Amino acid sequence: MVEWLYSVRARERLLRVRIQEGDISMADTAYTIRVNGRVQGVGFRATTQMLADRMAIRGDVRNQSDGSVLIHAVGTDTQMSAFREAIKQGPSQFARVSTYEETPMKSVPEYNGFNVVY
C-alpha cells in the first residue's frame, strides 16, 4: 500500500508541474467506468474517493447489484489518464480488477467533488 501511495503522489507532483508549465489541456472530459473482479467489500469505493479527491476528479462511485462497481468521473485528459491507470490497478490493496470498461459521456455533468453513493 505504501508503494502504491508513493507512486500516486509522484504522479500528482508531475501533473502539477505539467499543468503549471501549460503543457496540459484544461478542458474537462467525462467517462462512465465499470469495473468487475474483487471490487465489492474490499474498500474499493472509499479508496476510489480518496484517489479522486487527490487527483481533483469529480463524480461518484457506486456498487451495482451484479457485483461490479460503476464510476462516473470528470477531469482533464491528463487527470483522467492517471485516474484510470490507478483504477485498473485497484485503488484498494485488497481489490483486484479483472475487467475495466470505459465509455465517454456525451456531455460533461456538473459534479461538486467526488462522492460514494450508497
Which active-site residues does the annotation give? 45, 63
70: Cβ–Cβ under 8 A, 6 or more apart, which residues?
32, 33, 34, 61, 62, 63, 64
SS (H, E, C) 77-111: HHHHHHHHHHHHHCCCCCCEEEEEEEEECCCCCCC
Residue 22 host element (H or E): none
H or E stretch at 42: none
Asked if residue 83 lies in contact with residue 28, where contact means CB atoms within 8 angstroms, the answer is no
CB atoms within 10 A of CB 102: 15
